[in-house]
Amino acid sequence: MRSKDKVLGVLYGQAIGDAMGMPSELWPVEKIRDQFHGKITTFLDGPDNNDIAKNFKKGQYTDDTNQALAILDGLIENNWRPDSKILVKHIMAWAESVGAWENNILGPSSKAALTALKDGKDPRPITDQALTNGAGMRISPIGALFNPEELERLVHMVFEITKITHSSDVSISGASMIAGAVTAAMADQNWDDVIDFALRANDVGFKFGAPTWAAKTRDRLELGINIAQKDKGSDEKFSQHIYNLIGTGTMISESIPAAVSIAYYCRDVQKCALMCANLGGDTDTIGAMATAICGAKNGKVSIPSEWIKLVDQQNPQHDFNEYADKILQFK
């Protein structure tokens, strides 16, 4: 169930998908093919002509994983009880340390909510209408804290964490979908059961959020799974259908169902990270979410040792083994 190998699979999966997708972040698929002479096949420095990725070197992860670990730091500080002020403190400390405002590193919803908090304003008018994927990009380690029989506790934790910047129905449902998929994958459920559990978590989470008009993550994921089943064995066809029909932009209703669908299709950390990097759209965020799910299912043991080594070398500010030990102490 909650073994150290699987927890490390989640953490390294998140980091690998994030870092592999970083160079192509927010580019259309045509630009990716032109820039990288067909496709990305390994970790790369962020290109100078990508305004966001140019801040990163190969193997470095972005705001997705840094925020996920800042949230873990805030939870650990308060004995795993989510406290909004403590969580915001840790995210703010990271954001200020990397010049997130000046370097355009924060996503739009998180940036607006955190700016309101910095200015002493109530962020709720922003968070209740937040429709972008910051809610899901940083939540996968929370799925590693729980077993499937603890669904209600899992979703409640997701809500308490997510609401600091995202409190809309689609935000809470989408974040719960990602966390739920991780929980079920860590429990080594088969892939169809992983999707069923992710949908259950999604439905519970949806009730916590403020109503919006956004397309529903449940329906989009069901469509994505149908595509995965129909396109089985045809990677390029599947990838293009996800890009065209589900969407790979920064909206929760696109990127989160896309990520879970890709995890279901790939079922492997390496294949998943590379598919996401070449997908087009919000490649690093989709990669972080999808590859974390594959890592949860298959564990660190399934990940190439040279990939692990590169992530550790390029991100010395964090020790994933320490985080894994602390996650396993959670009860």
Q: Please give the structure tokens belonging to residue 173.
A: 């449902």
**Residues 6+ away with beta carbon under 8 Å from 303:** 9, 12, 13, 16, 269, 270, 295
Mean pLDDT, rounded, for 54-83: 96
Q: Where are the domains of the chain?
A: 4-119+130-329
Q: Please give the structure tokens belonging to residue 73.
A: 């730091």
What is the residue whose two structure tokens read 């079922």?
Answer: 267
**Residues 6+ away with beta carbon under 8 Å from 163:** 84, 127, 172
The pLDDT value recorded for residue 262 is 99
The pLDDT value recorded for residue 112 is 84
Pick 4-119+130-329's CATH classification: 1.10.940.10, 1.10.4080.10, 3.40.250.10, 3.40.50.970.
1.10.4080.10
CA–CA distance, 203 with 80 (Å, rounded to integer): 24
Is residue 216 within 8 Å of 176, Cβ to Cβ? no
DSSP track, 44-78: -PPPTTSTTGGG--TT---HHHHHHHHHHHHHHHT
Mean pLDDT, rounded, for 251-264: 98
CA–CA distance, 46 with 25 (Å, rounded to integer): 9
Indicate the pTM of the whole model: 0.97
For 118-127, which contacts have Cβ atoms below 8 Å and span 24 or more sequence positions?
A: 118/92, 123/164, 123/165, 124/167, 127/163, 127/164, 127/165, 127/166, 127/167, 127/168, 127/171
Mean pLDDT across the chain: 96
- Known binding residues for Mg(2+) are 62-64, 282, 284-285
The pLDDT value recorded for residue 108 is 80
Phi then psi for residue 210, to 5 deg, are: -70, 140
How confident is residue 265, by pLDDT bands cut at 50, 70 and 90?
very high
How confident is residue 114, by pLDDT bands cut at 50, 70 and 90?
confident
pLDDT at 121 over 90: no
How confident is residue 292, by pLDDT bands cut at 50, 70 and 90?
very high
- Known binding residues are 62-64, 282, 284-285
User: How many residues in the chain?
Assistant: 331
More confident site: 234 or 103? 234
Is residue 205 within 8 Å of 158, Cβ to Cβ? yes
pLDDT at 223 over 90: yes
